[in-house]
Structure 1
Amino acid sequence: MAIGLNVEEPEEACSDENCPFHGSLAVRGQTIEGTVASTDMDKTVVVEREYDVRVPKYDRYMKRRSRIPAHAPPCMDLEEGDTVRIAETRPLSKTKAHVVVETLGGEE
């Protein structure tokens, strides 16, 4: 089933209703790449991404990071340190509005 992004479907099947591949969850909006920082919650991972912000006063760059909670379908085998791509979707809970759609690599 195509989800509208150029990503490969996982080999493993799941019965999660909120899986973009095997359920009925539609993805739309932004796609973001980041590193899995936490897998402590059930069906949720925290994806962290670092970016640089220019500080004009000192004419230098400062590192910032944002942490985004994302739904992790059971068919995606995720561990801390994995690089993943997440896509925006409808709100799934109070804090979750993204879902993991692709694993890009292991630990860096």
Structure 2
Amino acid sequence: MALGLNVANPEETCSDENCPFHGTLGVRGQTLDGEVASTDMEKTVVVEREYDVPVPKYDRLMKRRSRVPAHAPPCMDLEVGDTVTIAETRPLSKTKSHVVVEVHGGDE
């Protein structure tokens, strides 16, 4: 158990200062689960999560989607389609305020 969260430490090690396991970055606030939608940027992944919103007029649910940029530490191997847990942290850049803390696996 690390970080005050119930997640396992990655098997690899890294020298990234912004790694919550091997660096000095602390996590706080909420944790979110989602699927990796893009790995095109260096050290950043885009995590997409779907959720349902009620529409009272039609008495139904509507699907919504949000995309959250998150820091990807080098000690984690991430690919598009992996299900991950991200945790909130201090702002790392203009858009990044989350870091990947656990990988649950890919599309099965």
Do 2:2 and 2:8's aligned partners in 1 also have CA atoms closer than 8 Å? Answer: no
Query: Partner of 2:65 in structure 1?
Result: 65
Q: Percent identity?
A: 82
Kindly tell me the number of residue pairs found equivalent between the two proteins.
108
Which AA in structure 1 matches 2:64?
R
Question: How much is the aligned-residue C-alpha RMSD, in angstroms?
Answer: 1.0
Q: Structure 1: how far apart are the matches of 2:2 and 2:79? A: 25
* TM-score of the two chains, using structure 1 as the length reference: 0.98
* TM-score of the two chains, using structure 2 as the length reference: 0.98
In the TM superposition, structure 1's runs of 4+ consecutive aligned residues that sit over 3 Å from their partners are none
Which AA in structure 2 matches 1:43?
K
Q: Structure 1: how far apart are the matches of 2:9 and 2:43? A: 18
Q: Structure 2: how far apart are the matches of 1:75 and 1:54? A: 39
Structure 2 unaligned spans of 5+ = none
Do 2:15 and 2:22's aligned partners in 1 also have CA atoms closer than 8 Å? Answer: yes
Which AA in structure 2 matches 1:93?
S
Structure 1 unaligned spans of 5+ = none
Tell me if 1:38 matches 2:33: no
Query: Partner of 2:18 in structure 1?
Result: 18
